[in-house]
Structure 1
Amino acid sequence: MLSTIFNRALDKLIEYMGVIGYLLILYCMVFGVTDVFLRYVLNSASQWIGATIQAAMVLIACVGGSYALKHGSFIKLDLFYDNFSARTKAICDVLTSSLTFAFLGVLIWEGTASAIMSIKFNEVTPTAVPVPIYPIKSAIPLAAFIVLLIVIKQFIEDIKTIIKKPQ
Structure 2
Amino acid sequence: MMKVMESYIRIVDAFNRRVGRFAMYLIFALMGVLLWSSVTKFAGSPALWTLELAQFIMVGYYLLGGGYSMQLGDHVRMDLIYGNWSPRRKAAVDAVTVLFLLFYLCVLLYGGISSTTYAIEWGERAHSVWRPYMWPVKLVATIGVFLMLLQALAEFFRDILFLRGVSVNHASEAGL
For the aligned pair, the TM-score class normalised by the smaller chain equals 0.7 to 0.9
Gaps of 5+ in 2: 167-176
User: Which residue is 1:11 aligned to?
Assistant: 13
Matched, 1:128 2:147: no
Root-mean-square deviation (CA, aligned residues, Å) is: 2.0
User: Which residue is 1:46 aligned to?
Assistant: 47
Gaps of 5+ in 1: none
Q: Match of 2:120, SS?
A: helix
- Give the alignment of 1:13-162 within 5 angstroms: 13-39=15-41, 41-162=42-163
Cα contact 1:38–1:45 (8 A) shared by 2: yes
Cα contact 1:21–1:60 (8 A) shared by 2: yes
Deviation (angstroms), 1:5? 5.1
CA deviation string 1:31-62 (max 9, x = no partner):
112202211x2111102212211111111121
Distance between the aligned counterparts of 1:11 and 1:154, measured in 2? 9
Stretch moving more, 128-137 or 66-75: 128-137
CA distance 1:160–1:7, change in 2 (3 Å): closer
CA deviation string 1:126-146 (max 9, x = no partner):
333332210111222222221
CA deviation string 1:74-103 (max 9, x = no partner):
121111111111110011112212210121
Cα contact 2:67–2:151 (8 A) shared by 1: yes
Cα contact 1:86–1:161 (8 A) shared by 2: no
Q: Match of 1:76, SS?
A: coil
Give the letter for the 1:55 counterpart.
F
Deviation (angstroms), 1:4? 5.4
Give the letter for the 1:35 counterpart.
S
| TM-score, normalised relative to structure 2 | 0.83
Deviation (angstroms), 1:2? 5.8
| TM-score, normalised relative to structure 1 | 0.87
